[in-house]
Structure 1
Amino acid sequence: MVKLLTDPAALRVAELPKGASLPFDIVPDAAMRAAMAEELGINALRKLTFRGTLAPLGRRDWQLSAQLGATAQQACIATLEPVTSRIDTSIQRRFLSDMPRPEELDPTPEDGVPMPEDEAEEPLGEVIDLARVLIEALALALPDYPRKDGAGPASAAVAPPGEVPLDDDAIKPFAGLAALKARMEDGD
């Protein structure tokens, strides 16, 4: 993923204060929000804040607790008109020193690298990238299928030149059988 925020968002673990919490407050400017919106494939990010604390968890691990607030604009899946969504969500991550990094895991033949059971746990590397956490959390919090209020169901009728497009009745072959059954029962 493209790193969209400046260096202060990437914290070197060796330079973090020992035994003390580190508060952070990330409020990207308009250019950064536009770059994030493009990276996420959405129309716009009008507001974005990521505030929280990175605190020690035991001797070598770290706990991130944060609030993500955003106003995002996406295209409606039915009309393509802009839909504005407000996102306010809590983010929790634990960066664990004894957790293997993805590149250290052996791939399984079925699905690649096994995923940890707890999604909030991540391996602790040399850097804790707050920008990566912000973008990942925002991507997960965005509505999957934004729909404008009052937008009806999306429909499309496509056919080769000279052909009649299929309609809902033609796509449901058993609907015709139900009608045939009803006519046969009326004839008895």
Structure 2
Amino acid sequence: MAQHPQKTEVIRVADLSSRRPVTFDLTPNSAQSEAIASDLDLLALRKLRFRGTLTAEGRKDWLLQADLGATVTQPCVVTLEPVQTRIDEKVTRRFSPEAVLETADPGSEIEMPGDDTLEPLGAEIDIARVMIEALALALPPYPRREGAELGSLAVAEDGIAPMQDEETKPFAGLASLRDKLRNEDDA
């Protein structure tokens, strides 16, 4: 039988039973959805739901498995018109006291861990934070409205032909040079 905690946004690890999984079902209200949309630079966020279980894994670790569903509206990267996307993702996180969150000085490099589902385990597990992070990772990085095309712009001074894309390619002129040399040899 599963545990059903009173407050599922943040769960205290000390209150968890290692014998029974914890089920959760987060559906933010409209004010919370607007705040999340604002934080993620979305035009709109609808139907956000995060549902899953938190299960003991070994003696000290916890496994979170959940389904994330949301409908997001973002600006098109070409036209800035609204683009609506449905997101349905499986989310897995492993919370362990052995996982160490590396902190580094701004601008310095850190090595990425081999297991990107591993999270440090503290006194609490913030399920709402996991939901928002998973949503941010699932967002399309370059939403584009269907049929939206980038135009081209060619600028040059008066009397000079603007440079074309073909002329910027390093080997584009070699074919014409080869043809020119052949014509000189034939003459």
Superposed pair shares fold, TM > 0.5: yes
Quick one: which amino acid aligns to residue 35 of structure 1? A
The residue aligned with 1:147 is 144
The residue aligned with 1:16 is 16
What is the CA–CA distance in structure 2 between the aligned matches of 1:52 and 1:41, rounded to whole Å? 26
Using a 3 Å threshold, how does the CA distance of structure 1 residues 181 and 8 change in structure 2: closer, same or farther? same
What SS class does the counterpart of residue 98 from structure 2 fall into? coil
- Structure 1 residue runs of 5 or longer lacking an equivalent are 1-6
Q: With the length of structure 2 as denominator, give the TM-score of the two structures.
A: 0.79
Q: With the length of structure 1 as denominator, give the TM-score of the two structures.
A: 0.79
RMSD between superposed Cα atoms in Å: 2.9
What SS class does the counterpart of residue 23 from structure 1 fall into? strand
Question: Is 1:127 matched with 2:129?
Answer: no
The residue aligned with 1:4 is none
Q: CA deviation at 1:110?
A: 6.3
Mapping 1:1-188, distance limit 5 Å: 8-102=8-102, 111-112=109-110, 114-152=111-149, 154-155=150-151, 157=153, 168-169=165-166, 171-172=168-169, 174-186=171-183, 188=186
Q: CA deviation at 1:170?
A: 5.7
Which structure has the larger Rg over C-alpha atoms? 2
After the TM superposition, which of the residue ranges 172-181 and 89-98 deviates more from structure 2? 172-181
Q: CA deviation at 1:182?
A: 3.7
- Structure 2 residue runs of 5 or longer lacking an equivalent are 1-6
What is the CA–CA distance in structure 1 between the aligned matches of 2:78 and 2:164, rounded to whole Å? 18
